[in-house]
Amino acid sequence: MTLSEKDTLYNWHPYTQHKTAFPHPVIVKGQGALLWDEHGKEYIDAIASWWVNPFGHANTFIAKAIYNQLTQLEHVLFGGFTHEPVIQLSEKLATILPSNQKKFFYSDNGSTAVEVALKGALQFFYNKGQKRTKIIAFENAFHGDTFGAMAASGISFFTDAFQGSLLEVIRIPVPTEGNESMALERLKALLETNEYAAFIFEPLVQGAAGMVMYSPTVLNQLMVLAKEYNVFTIADEVMTGFGKTGKNFACDYLEQQPDMMCLSKALTGGTIPMAITSFSQEIYDGFYDDDTNKALFHGHTFTANPTGCAAALASIELLQTEEIQENIQQVYQHHLAFAERIKTHPKVKTTRVLGVIFALEIKVEGAHDYYGNLRNTLYEFFIKKGIILRPVGNIIYILPPYIINDIELERVYTIIEEALTLI
């Protein structure tokens, strides 16, 4: 029995209808922006393995930091204990996040980072004796797959089976160009009811919706409104954080500062699962009380895992190097050039670029399902060509490792142009 056959026999993959899925390639090695399967076929990882590997696969700098930590202290419970790597990481984060982010709660993935933020917002008002039990989010948002995060998400087929079991979340339009006033008016109408604890958003880019982008100006206006009504703002930077948008965080484009931020994915350079929810001092103070019942009763077995903290520290150190910052800008410039060369293609409706994120919307008739025939045809074509891309409906996006070289990136562009001939 081959490895692929054994995989099919035993494993249940995420977001996969196994009755119709083709066998998964068995990846055995990675280096930089490249992966190789069991047959020696090479793939360019053009989405950094779901946006987590900005410094490439098998990065020796991060690997050495992990090894050194493993041989000193691999893990210790964080309930009642602490350790040096988590103190160093929190201290570092305090210097690169917006200045109002003062306290850091550790968990293990993006969904749980969002759960912690939502629970923090809801319990803050509960602790104050105020009834604010609803959340505001954007249409077509995606914040994760646990129940709170799923409730805040607006992509219906992810959540249809669980309607009636979720938090009450009311949605406002995404403030894309032309929809800014509508989003602001809708938010103001909701805020006036005084029923809402928080407004959660993916700052500037909605990832799973197809890299939908909107301006910092309108997000600033939305955040100002929320602040006027004492509603907390939650910036979900799980996807955008750590350089994706061209700055360390998408919130660095803003004048306003969020009350909470959710971090994961690239936090550890794609090595060890870890997440962080950061809070303003005001929110933390809402739990700081002689009454034990006002504590935030949330935790994970691997909270603040020392090895993960060591990986995160190494990852942030790499991010701040001149070489990586230059690479980010170089990828951005290549994306802009590709957008310019392809924008008049008869099959291209729009293109959008921010930092290392590139998105192309294919001009097709009618609606196209998230996992529909068009998407599946494109996905299989890219895999056959040795390019890892995961189109979203009729959107093709690129979000490569920062260390991808010019030849690899140009091949990705060329294969996308070739794919358009299939439509």
Q: Which of 319, 342, 369 is the last residue of a domain?
A: 319
Q: Which residues does the chain have with pLDDT short of 70?
A: 367-368
Instruction: Please give the Cα distance from 416 to 44 (Å, whole number).
Output: 13
Do residues 94 and 40 share a domain?
no
How many residues are listed for the chain in this entry? 423
pTM of the model: 0.97
Do residues 253 and 381 share a domain?
no
Q: What is the CATH number of the domain that holds 35?
A: 3.90.1150.10
Q: At what angle do helices 373-384 and 406-419 cross, to 10 degrees?
A: 140
**Number of folded domains in the chain?**
2
Q: Which of 319, 315, 316, 359 is nearest to 336 (CA)?
A: 359
Do residues 179 and 287 share a domain?
yes
pLDDT in tens, 43-94: 999 999 999 999 999 999 999 999 999 999 999 999 999 999 999 999 999 9
Q: Which of 271, 301, 319 is the last residue of a domain?
A: 319
pLDDT recorded at residue 365 = 83
Note down the domain range covering 86: 63-319
pLDDT recorded at residue 174 = 98
Q: Cα dihedral angle (248, 211, 145, 22), rounded to 10 degrees?
A: -120
Instruction: Please give the Cα distance from 242 to 265 (Å, whole number).
Output: 9
Q: What is the CATH number of the domain that holds 275?
A: 3.40.640.10
Residue type, 19: K
pLDDT recorded at residue 278 = 98
Do residues 126 and 77 share a domain?
yes
Do residues 260 and 351 share a domain?
no
